[in-house]
Structure 1
Amino acid sequence: MIRMPVTVSLADVSSYRPGKPISAEYFAQFRQGAGTASDVMFNPPRLRHHVGADETPADMAERAIAPMLARQGPELLDQVDVLVVHTQLPETWFVGNGGQIAARFGIAPEWLIDLANGGCASFVHAIKLAREILQNTRARSALVVNVTNTAGQVFAQHGVRAMAQAAIPGDGAGIAWLTKSDRSPILDIETRHLPRYAGEMTSIANPPRRYWEAGHGEHHIGFTESNIAAVLDRGNRIVPQVTEAVCERIALPPNEIDLLVTNQPNRAFLRNWREALSLPPERHPDTFEECGNLFGTAMPMTFDHAVSSGLAPDGSVVMFAGFAHAGDFAGAAAVRWGGRHTPGDGSN
């Protein structure tokens, strides 16, 4: 018996921005001096959002899925057998927040995966895992959940907010729904793990201590000027590389991508990536000025905004691409977008 390949589609996407926008001026009043590399890496956005003081990852996920459930109906959750979650700052020791999010959604999926890696490109990583499960099991549909929650909890700390790195991050959540259908097929995915860079983005405190140890000094990301320069160079190269790999396999020149949706560490990366792929700004939407660096949530948040704003016509080839941390992971995924799936359209 010949097994027919299963097509998996990106059926819908939704997102959530917590709280009121916080302006760049808030951080400017605390700002300390910075070097040249820091000025490029951490040139602040106009606005960003911060998670609320008592807001949990499950709260954010529930608020992010609300628009999707309003469109699709709560019956969507009855069909979810796969839940892949990436929480930037897990609030539950050892087990992550996937279980809490599943409980909040009222589901008990057969496949529940908490991703600890993938970072800013975890959306692509999660889509690849979910697609593999849907293609090779009887699972019916999957939810991919990205929660970003360090801006208001780590970077806004009194001892951290004066650093150049503090003004870049924003918080938010994004959710994608994947189904077995050919409405908005995932055309191809490229992922690359580069473990030699895995230890270059670290958490440090002054005086030094491990993050679980009691002591003085707040933890922050341990970037040095030389490290920043290396990450800028590395990130500029690897995102076009994974994008071009996907383009080659689907026989699409990079400059014919209809919509490029990336993570958004800073303006320099956004500019350099589209120039490397010969794409005009209007085909590379972002939410950087309104939301800052959203890490893993940037792709679903930006695509949700693009779809809602009419920037993603049906039939568009959408390329999701990005890299994580100091460059230990990169990925790209191409989707032929067929519009948001709707109840009764036969797509799920």
Structure 2
Amino acid sequence: MSTKALIQAISYYLPRYQLDNAIIEAQFPEWSIDKISEKTGIDNRHIAASGETSGDMAVKAAEKLFEEHSIDRSTIDYLIVCTQSPDHFLPTTACIVQEKLGLKTSVGAFDMNLGCSGFVYGLGLAKGLVVSGQAKNVLLITSETYSKFIHPMDKSNRTIFGDAAAATLISSEHGFAEIGDFEYGTEGKGAENLIVKNGALRSPITEKEAVIDEYGNYNSDNHLYMNGTEIFLFTLESVPKLISRTVTKNNLNKDNIDLFILHQANRFMLQSLQKKCKIPNSKFYIKMDHCGNTVSSTIPIALYHAQNEKRIEKNKTILLAGFGVGYSWAGTILKTF
């Protein structure tokens, strides 16, 4: 009998400090509360403290997972940490998280550097470990502090992104949903449209002053830059194809899908995708108003809330699709039971 890979449980952590729309409006009066909410679908974001790292948040998310779902940490035999804001260049954040969580020293542990597609890619890696017999219980943690990359006067990116960490347990033995087959994609020519250019080895940090774009956003090569127009065009071009190919890869058709949970980028982008893919409201899930775009954690956070809201019931088929920085995209199917 072949081994299955199952999602057993999900929990997540949000930092204490909150950046709501009223605070943004106070700093940028032309950017009203109603305008922000209508365009982005985001009312609030949580921002990591100055000394709080992705590794710290990863530990807190995992501790919540263990407590909320009564999980014995000694059963974890593999750890994957997905982050683009690691604690150090080296060692890997996963090694630090292993020690802080008190996981056994026989676990495998590594980091993966992916953004908005990271959770689905992580599920693919976790499934490979489980199905091949290398692990029985894989702890996948997505943790990101994009706020530390954003210029304080960049109103567009500050409006969209929030910090968060999510912990997901993938198991060969227990779970509420089986992980299906995967569809992946990469197009590196779009790398410069969502980038923190300086800070690593190719382009060190510089002292250049920030420039102001046509929309009044401050930015420099030391901070997060996003070409919103190009990202939007990429998304509308790639994601409908990703959804179609993911459905086909799993020997299904689109009518078989009970719920679509896409990367929660912003409301305008999601509604544009929903319209282009002709997905009815009853099958399309949006949940980001309380935390913003949390990069690799948006899908697990949405899954967590969809479960609590009874949107995910037994014998349902769920499509997950992540897409963004890289360009990178990935999709898979969950079948609940």
TM-score range, shorter chain: 0.7 to 0.9
1:154 lines up with 2:146 in the alignment: no
Measured in 2, the distance between the counterparts of 1:238 and 1:32 equals 35
- 1:222 is aligned to 225
1:284 Cα offset (Å) = 2.3
- 1:170 is aligned to 162
- 2:18 is aligned to 21
- 1:73 is aligned to 70
Residues 117-139 of structure 1: per-residue CA shift (max 9 Å, x gap): 3x101001111111111111342
* Structure 1, gaps ≥5 residues long: 339-348
Question: Which sits farther off after the overlay, 51-60 or 141-150?
Answer: 51-60
One-letter amino acid of the counterpart of residue 328, structure 2: F
Identity of aligned residues (%): 19
1:26 Cα offset (Å) = 1.6
1:278 Cα offset (Å) = 2.5
**Deviation above 6 Å: which 4+ runs of structure 1?**
none
Measured in 1, the distance between the counterparts of 2:188 and 2:283 equals 32
Residues 58 and 143 in structure 2, CA contact (< 8 A), matched pair in contact too: yes
1:162 Cα offset (Å) = 4.1
One-letter amino acid of the counterpart of residue 48, structure 2: V
1:177 Cα offset (Å) = 0.6
Measured in 2, the distance between the counterparts of 1:129 and 1:102 equals 18
Alignment of 1:232-311 (within 5 A): 232-311=232-311
1:74 Cα offset (Å) = 4.4
Alignment of 1:1-348 (within 5 A): 4-31=1-28, 43=40, 45-75=42-72, 77-107=73-103, 108-117=105-114, 119-151=115-147, 153-155=148-150, 157=151, 160-181=152-173, 183=175, 184-203=177-196, 210-213=203-206, 219-223=222-226, 227-325=227-325, 328-338=327-337
Cα 1:33–1:321 change in 2 (3 A) is same
Residues 74-110 of structure 1: per-residue CA shift (max 9 Å, x gap): 42x2222221111231121233311111112211354
Describe the SS at the equivalent of 2:77. strand
Measured in 1, the distance between the counterparts of 2:207 and 2:144 equals 25
Residues 243-298 of structure 1: per-residue CA shift (max 9 Å, x gap): 21121132322243222112122212211222233322343222222111111110
1:8 Cα offset (Å) = 0.8
Measured in 1, the distance between the counterparts of 2:197 and 2:290 equals 28
Measured in 2, the distance between the counterparts of 1:162 and 1:195 equals 25
Residues 152-184 of structure 1: per-residue CA shift (max 9 Å, x gap): x233x5xx3343222110111111111114752
Measured in 2, the distance between the counterparts of 1:261 and 1:122 equals 14
RMSD (CA atoms): 2.7
1:186 Cα offset (Å) = 0.9
1:43 Cα offset (Å) = 4.3
Provide TM-score, normalisation by structure 1. Answer: 0.82
- 2:213 is aligned to none
Question: Which sits farther off after the overlay, 94-103 or 276-285?
Answer: 276-285
1:216 Cα offset (Å) = 5.5
Number of residue-to-residue matches in the alignment:
318
Describe the SS at the equivalent of 1:52. coil
Measured in 2, the distance between the counterparts of 1:33 and 1:280 equals 34
Residues 261 and 319 in structure 1, CA contact (< 8 A), matched pair in contact too: yes
Describe the SS at the equivalent of 1:260. strand
1:44 Cα offset (Å) = 6.8
Measured in 2, the distance between the counterparts of 1:80 and 1:331 equals 25
Describe the SS at the equivalent of 1:307. helix
Residues 3-40 of structure 1: per-residue CA shift (max 9 Å, x gap): x5321111111111221532112223333989xxxx99
Residues 211-260 of structure 1: per-residue CA shift (max 9 Å, x gap): 4346665632234xxx4322211111212212211211323222432221
One-letter amino acid of the counterpart of residue 163, structure 2: D
One-letter amino acid of the counterpart of residue 124, structure 1: V
* Structure 2, gaps ≥5 residues long: 211-219
1:141 Cα offset (Å) = 1.1
